[in-house]
A and B are shown apart, each in its own frame.
Chain A
Amino acid sequence: MPKGIEIEINGKTYSAEYPPDTPLLYVLREELGLTGTKYGCGEGMCGACTVLIAGTARRSCQIPLSAAAGKPITTIEGLEKNGALHPVQQAFLDAGAFQCAYCTSGMIMSSVSLLRVTPDPSDEQIVQSLQGNICRCGTHPRIIEAVHLAAKKMQEQAR
Chain B
Amino acid sequence: MSETNKLIAFEPERYEFHALPMHQFALERRDFFKLLGAGLAVFAVAKDALAQETAPGGRGFHNEELPKEIGGWLHIGEDGSVTGFVGKVEIGQNVRTSLAQTIADELKVPFERVRMVMGDTALSPFDMGTFGSRSTPTMTPQLRKVAAAARNYLLEKAAKQWNVPAEKLVAADGKIIQAGSSRSIAYTELVKEDLWVGRIPSDEKITPPQEWKIAGAPMEKVDGRAFVTGKHQYSTDLRPQGMLHGTVLRPPSYGATVVSYDDSAAKTMKDVVLVRDGDFIGAAAPTAASAQLALDALQVKWKEAPQISDKEIFAYLKKNANPSSEERFRQKQGSIEDGLAAASHKLNATYNVAYIAHAPLEPRAAVAQWTNGKLTVWLGTQRPFAVRDDLAATFHLSEKDVHVMVPDTGSAYGGKHTSDAGLEAARLARAAEGRPVQVVWTRQEEFTWAYFRPAGVIEVKSGISADGKLTAWEFHNYHSGMSAIESPYAVDQYTEYHSVPLVLRSGSYRGLAATANHFARETHMDELAHAAGTDPLQFRLNNLTDARMKAVLQGAAEKFGWPRKKTSEGQGFGIAAGFEKGSYVATCAEVLANPRSGTFQVVKLVEAFECGAIVNPDGLRNQVVGAMIQGLGGALFEAIQFENGKITNDHFSSYRVPRFRDVPQIETVLLDRKDIPSAGAGETPIMAVAPAIGNAFFDAMNIRLRDLPLLPERHLAG
Seen from chain A, the residues whose Cβ lies within 8 Å of a Cβ on chain B are: 18-19, 22, 26, 29-30, 33-43, 45-46, 48, 75-77, 79-80, 85, 89-90, 92-93, 96, 98-105, 108, 126-127, 130-144
Contacts of A132 in B (CB 8 A): 659
Across the interface, name the chain A residue whose C-beta is closest to B657: A134
Q: With A92-B228, A137-B626 in contact, do A40 and B220 touch (Cβ < 8 Å)?
A: no
CB-contact partner of A45 in B92, B652, B660, under 8 A: B652
Q: Which of B407-454 contact A (CB under 8 A)?
A: 408-411, 413, 440, 442-443
Count CB-based A-B contacts (< 8 Å). 160
Contacts of A142 in B (CB 8 A): 622, 625
Inter-subunit contact B660/A138 (CB<8 Å): no
Query: In the bound complex, what is the Cα–Cα distance between A141 and B361 (angstroms)?
Result: 18
Inter-subunit contact B362/A102 (CB<8 Å): yes
Q: Does B630 contact A (CB under 8 A)?
A: yes
Query: In the bound complex, what is the Cα–Cα distance between A143 and B660 (angstroms)?
Result: 10
Contacts of A137 in B (CB 8 A): 92, 411, 622, 626, 630
Query: In the bound complex, what is the Cα–Cα distance between A35 and B231 (angstroms)?
Result: 8
Q: Does B289 contact A (CB under 8 A)?
A: yes
Inter-subunit contact A99/B361 (CB<8 Å): no
B87 smallest CB distance to A (angstroms): 19
Inter-subunit contact B221/A136 (CB<8 Å): no
Inter-subunit contact B411/A43 (CB<8 Å): no
B549 smallest CB distance to A (angstroms): 24
Inter-subunit contact B411/A99 (CB<8 Å): yes
Inter-subunit contact B659/A35 (CB<8 Å): no
B586 smallest CB distance to A (angstroms): 18
Inter-subunit contact A41/B652 (CB<8 Å): yes
Q: With A35-B236, A46-B652, A99-B93 in contact, do A41 and B230 touch (Cβ < 8 Å)?
A: no
Contacts of A36 in B (CB 8 A): 229-231
Query: In the bound complex, what is the Cα–Cα distance between A48 and B230 (angstroms)?
Result: 11
Inter-subunit contact A77/B289 (CB<8 Å): no
Inter-subunit contact B229/A136 (CB<8 Å): no
Q: Mark B216-254, 1 if CB is under 8 A from A, else 0.
A: 000011001101111111101101000001000000000
Contacts of A45 in B (CB 8 A): 651-653
Inter-subunit contact B413/A136 (CB<8 Å): yes
Across the interface, name the chain A residue whose C-beta is closest to B365: A39
Inter-subunit contact B409/A76 (CB<8 Å): no
Q: Which of B623, B625, B659 gathers most chain A CB within 10 Å?
A: B659
Classify chain B's interface size: 35 or more
Q: Does B170 contact A (CB under 8 A)?
A: no
A sample of 29 cross-chain residue pairs with beta-carbon separation below 8 angstroms, ordered by A number, consists of: A30-B245, A30-B288, A35-B237, A36-B231, A38-B362, A39-B236, A40-B362, A41-B651, A41-B652, A42-B443, A43-B443, A77-B229, A85-B225, A85-B229, A89-B228, A89-B229, A93-B228, A100-B92, A100-B362, A100-B410, A101-B228, A101-B232, A101-B410, A102-B360, A102-B362, A102-B411, A104-B227, A136-B361, A138-B628
Q: Does B45 contact A (CB under 8 A)?
A: no
Across the interface, name the chain A residue whose C-beta is closest to B659: A131
A101-B228, A127-B660 known; 6 new pairs, CB 8 Å cut-off, are A26-B287, A38-B234, A45-B652, A75-B230, A100-B362, A140-B629
Q: With A104-B228, A130-B660 in contact, do A138 and B92 touch (Cβ < 8 Å)?
A: no
Contacts of B229 in A (CB 8 A): 36, 76-77, 79-80, 85, 89
The 5 closest A-B pairs by CB, nearest first: A36-B230, A100-B92, A138-B629, A102-B410, A138-B626
A4 smallest CB distance to B (angstroms): 15
Query: In the bound complex, what is the Cα–Cα distance between A132 and B227 (angstroms)?
Result: 20
Inter-subunit contact A131/B630 (CB<8 Å): no
Query: In the bound complex, what is the Cα–Cα distance between A107 and B716 (angstroms)?
Result: 34
A36 smallest CB distance to B (angstroms): 2
Inter-subunit contact A93/B224 (CB<8 Å): yes
Q: Which of B644-661 contact A (CB under 8 A)?
A: 651-653, 657-661
Q: With A35-B236, A99-B93, A136-B657 in contact, do A108 and B359 touch (Cβ < 8 Å)?
A: no
Inter-subunit contact B227/A134 (CB<8 Å): no
Query: In the bound complex, what is the Cα–Cα distance between A59 and B361 (angstroms)?
Result: 15
Q: Does B91 contact A (CB under 8 A)?
A: yes
Query: In the bound complex, what is the Cα–Cα distance between A109 and B657 (angstroms)?
Result: 21
Contacts of A99 in B (CB 8 A): 92-94, 411, 622-623, 626
CB-contact partner of A26 in B232, B288, B629, B653, under 8 A: B288
Query: In the bound complex, what is the Cα–Cα distance between A30 and B653 (angstroms)?
Result: 26
Across the interface, name the chain A residue whose C-beta is closest to B654: A45
Q: Does B690 contact A (CB under 8 A)?
A: no
CB-contact partner of B618 in A39, A76, A96, under 8 A: A96
Inter-subunit contact A41/B443 (CB<8 Å): yes
Query: In the bound complex, what is the Cα–Cα distance between A121 and B540 (angstroms)?
Result: 43
Inter-subunit contact B287/A138 (CB<8 Å): no
Inter-subunit contact A141/B230 (CB<8 Å): no
Inter-subunit contact B411/A100 (CB<8 Å): yes
Contacts of A126 in B (CB 8 A): 660
Q: Does B402 contact A (CB under 8 A)?
A: no
Inter-subunit contact A38/B236 (CB<8 Å): yes
Q: Does B627 contact A (CB under 8 A)?
A: yes
Query: In the bound complex, what is the Cα–Cα distance between A80 and B234 (angstroms)?
Result: 20
Contacts of B221 in A (CB 8 A): 96, 98, 101
Contacts of A140 in B (CB 8 A): 629, 658, 660, 663
